[in-house]
Amino acid sequence: MPELHPQTQLIDRFGRVVNYLRVSITDRCDFRCVYCMAENMTFMPRTHILSLEEIYYICQAFVELGVNKIRITGGEPLVRQGVVGLLQQLHGLSGLNELVLSSNGSKLGGMAADIKAAGVKRINISLDTLDPAKFKALTRTGDLEQVLTGINAARAAGFQNLKLNSVIMKHRNHDEVCDLVAFAVERGIDISFIEEMPLGLVDGRQRSESYYPSTEIKRDIQNRFTLNAVPYATGGPSDYFQVADTETRVGFISPHSANFCGSCNRVRLTAEGRLLLCLGNEDSVDLKTLIRQHPGDMALLKQTIIAAMQIKPQQHHFNIHEQPIIMRHMSATGG
Ligand code: SAM
Ligand code: SF4
């Protein structure tokens, strides 16, 4: 009988190879962005969320199954105590090529150098506006100056690449897209514009009223900048363009106007330990209960992850014009 080789690739029913894991290490955050959270959020009790050891253990299983990129996110990952130690540990996983982070930037001023030293290659930093009053309105609790300090600290720390992420909403910040591109160009960093996704109830607002499609954002930017298409593949859903004669790439993440599911290569681990197969569907597997009931049984964990690929949906079903069918907020999900 030929020897059975352990499986080293995760493949779903549609032939998509899953090699990218996004991990929400906390549902908590120091901001309350209007598109992400309600003003009064109830966060999960600490015993409901994975410990750092459990997060590492699950990540180890994924890397042994062929995942070569991990993004640490949240909530705001940098509010979780011990995050730098976790990053250091993950960086040591053999087979992991890219350890990257998403952050709102508020704590980067004091942490960027340690995060770089821990082995993080790239950081995505959220920045939706350059106007301090609008920043306060959009984040409810955030301070623009603190985030700008964080961006400067990240630049000084010398990451391989920094990218800004801007969620664009009509009448809130859609008039700032060119200024945001100029900000990125001046600093030689990339920027992605994101269409708002209907995840969780956020406030009384209808999301469709503030819908501002990528096609319009792109048109606005082209009034001031020349964009050249580039074949830049990050393994993400962005379509990228180079701003002519600059270092800056502009990306568009368009869940509504351009479905990106055909090339999906990712799954998510939520803060409470659910393996979420698609951002826009509820199909998930409870890995927390599994590893707490069978501590140390790595073979069972891997088998469960391999089996979970069979329920990865073909595509998301976001509809900006309907009440969200998905009651999970982006913060608990690992956006
Ligand atoms: N706190 C970190 C941050 O803000 O970058 C990481 C977590 S946050 C959930 C990750 C990304 O999701 C951010 O770029 C944020 O703008 C985006 N996001 C949150 N809610 C969203 C929504 N409803 N639609 C589209 N993007 C959203
Ligand atoms: Fe916090 Fe990020 Fe959500 Fe804003 S988008 S509330 S910074 S988790």
Helices and strands, counts by H and E, the chain: 10, 14
Closest ligand 2 atom to Cα of 73 = 8
Is residue 25 in a domain? yes
Alpha-carbon gap, residue 56 to 70, rounded angstroms: 11
* Cβ 74 under 6 angstroms from ligand 2: yes
User: Cα dist. 67→7, 8, 60, 93, 294 in Å?
Assistant: 12, 9, 9, 11, 23
19: which residues sit within 8 A by CB, 6+ positions away? 9, 10, 66, 67, 68, 69, 235, 265
Stated pTM of the model:
0.92
Say how many Å lie between the CA of residue 307 and the centre of ligand 2.
32
First and final C-alpha spacing in the chain: 45
pLDDT-based confidence at 327, cuts 50/70/90?
A: low
* Cβ 196 under 6 angstroms from ligand 1: yes
Closest ligand 2 atom to Cα of 29 = 1
Is residue 1 in a domain? no
Segment 7-23, tens digit of pLDDT: 679 999 999 999 999 99
The whole-number pLDDT of residue 326 equals: 52
Domain that holds residue 89: 6-333
The whole-number pLDDT of residue 325 equals: 46
CATH (domain of 282)? 3.20.20.70
Among 44, 80, 104, the mutation site with the greatest number of ligand 2 atoms within 8 A of its Cβ is 104
* Cβ 36 under 6 angstroms from ligand 2: yes
Q: Is 213 left (phi over 0), alpha (psi -120 to 50) or beta?
A: beta
Q: Is the pLDDT of residue 134 over 90?
A: yes
* Cβ 236 under 6 angstroms from ligand 2: no
Closest ligand 1 atom to Cα of 331 = 9
Tell me what percent of the residues of the chain surpass a pLDDT of 70. 86
Nearest ligand by distance to the CA of 38: 2
Whether the Cβ atoms of residue 120 and residue 92 lie closer than 8 Å to each other: no
The β-bridge partners of 266 are 20
Q: Is the pLDDT of residue 332 over 90?
A: no
Per the structure, the count of domains in the chain is: 1
Whether the Cβ atoms of residue 225 and residue 217 lie closer than 8 Å to each other: no
Segment 236-269, tens digit of pLDDT: 566 899 999 999 999 998 876 656 678 889 999 9
Whether the Cβ atoms of residue 21 and residue 265 lie closer than 8 Å to each other: no
DSSP secondary structure code for residue 240 in this structure: E
Closest ligand 2 atom to Cα of 102 = 2
Per the prediction, the chain carries an average pLDDT of: 90
